[in-house]
Chains A and B, each alone.
Chain A
Amino acid sequence: MKKSIALLLLAALSLYVYVRNDVPDQDPYAITDYSRLHPVKVERVVKGQEERQLVAIVQEARQKGLTVSIAGQRHSQGGHTYYKDGIVVDMTSFNRILAVDPARKTVRVQAGATWKDVQDAVNPYGLAVKTKQSQNIFTVGGSISINAHGRDIRNGSLIKSVESFRLLTADGQIKQVSRTENADLFPLALGGYGLFGIILDVTLTLADDEMYRITSDRMSVGEYSAYFQNRVKSNPDIRLHLARISVAPDSFLTDMYAINYTVDRSIPLRGHDRLNEGERLVIPTKLMFNLNRSFDWGKNVFWDLQKRFFGTQQGTVISRNNAMRSESGFMEYREAGKNDLLQEYFIPPDELSAFVEDFKAVLRSESMNLLNITVRYVNRDEEAKLSYAREDMFALVCLFNVPLTEQGQTQMKQSVQRILDAVMKHRGTYYLPYAPYASLDQFRAMYPNYGVFFNKKDEYDPEHLFMNYFYENYRGE
Chain B
Amino acid sequence: MNALNAQWLIRSQSIVTLAAGMIYPYYLLFLKNAGNSYSKYGLAFAVFTVSSAAVSQWLAPRLDRHGVRMLAASSLGMAAVMLAFPWVMSYGLVLVLQLVMGICNAMQKMSERLLIADHTQHGSRGVVIGSFHFWTSAASGFAVILGGFLIDWLTIDALFYASALLYALSAWAVWRYGRHGAGRAAAAESQRAAHRQL
Contact = CB atoms under 8 A, between A and B. Distances in A.
Interface of A: 3, 6-7, 9-10, 13-14, 17, 277-278, 282-283, 286-287, 290, 329, 332, 334-335
Contacts of B142: 9-10, 13
B153 A290 contact: yes
B91 interface: no
Contact of B157 (A7, A10, A13, A283): A283
B138 A10 contact: yes
Contact of A3 (B134, B141, B154, B157): B134
A282 B157 contact: yes
Contact of B155 (A6, A13, A14, A286): A286
A9 B145 CA distance: 12
Contact of A283 (B135, B145, B152, B155): B155
A303 to B, nearest CB: 21
A332 B153 CA distance: 9
Interface in B158-174: 158
B160 to A, nearest CB: 10
A278 B90 CA distance: 12
B135 to A, nearest CB: 8
B98 to A, nearest CB: 21
* Nearest 10 interchain pairs by C-beta: A10-B141, A6-B138, A283-B158, A282-B155, A334-B152, A283-B154, A13-B145, A283-B155, A3-B134, A286-B154
Contacts, number: 34
Contacts of A17: 145, 148
Nearest to A284: B154
B89 interface: yes
B154 to A, nearest CB: 5
Contacts of B134: 3, 6
Interface magnitude class on chain B = 10 to 19
A329 B158 CA distance: 13
- DSSP majority for the A interface? helix
Given A3-B134, A10-B138, A329 B145 contact: no
Contacts of B135: 6
A421 B138 CA distance: 56
A37 B101 CA distance: 41
A13 B135 CA distance: 16
Contacts of A10: 138, 141-142
B42 to A, nearest CB: 21
Contacts of B141: 10, 14
Given A7-B138, A10-B138, A277 B89 contact: yes
A17 B152 CA distance: 13
Contacts of A3: 134, 138
Nearest to A282: B155
Nearest to A14: B145
Given A17-B148, A283-B155, 14 more contacts: A6-B135, A9-B142, A10-B138, A10-B141, A13-B142, A14-B145, A278-B89, A283-B154, A283-B158, A286-B154, A287-B153, A287-B154, A334-B152, A335-B152
A396 to B, nearest CB: 29
B91 to A, nearest CB: 15
B90 to A, nearest CB: 11
A282 B154 CA distance: 8
Interface in B119-148: 134-135, 138, 141-142, 145, 148
Contacts of A332: 155
Contacts of B148: 17
A282 B157 CA distance: 9
A13 B144 CA distance: 11
B128 to A, nearest CB: 14
B182 to A, nearest CB: 25
Contacts of B158: 283
Nearest to A277: B89
29 contacts: A3-B134, A3-B138, A6-B134, A6-B135, A6-B138, A7-B138, A9-B142, A10-B138, A10-B141, A13-B142, A13-B145, A14-B141, A14-B145, A17-B145, A17-B148, A277-B89, A278-B89, A282-B155, A283-B154, A283-B155, A283-B157, A283-B158, A286-B153, A286-B154, A286-B155, A287-B153, A287-B154, A329-B155, A334-B152
B45 to A, nearest CB: 24
A236 B88 CA distance: 42
A335 B151 CA distance: 11
A284 to B, nearest CB: 9
Nearest to A21: B148
A152 B25 CA distance: 42
Contacts of A290: 153
B138 to A, nearest CB: 5
Contacts of A277: 89
A49 to B, nearest CB: 15
Nearest to A290: B153
Nearest to B161: A283
B77 to A, nearest CB: 24
B134 to A, nearest CB: 6
Contacts of A282: 155, 157
A203 B83 CA distance: 43
B178 to A, nearest CB: 22
A13 B148 CA distance: 12
B83 to A, nearest CB: 14
A410 B45 CA distance: 49
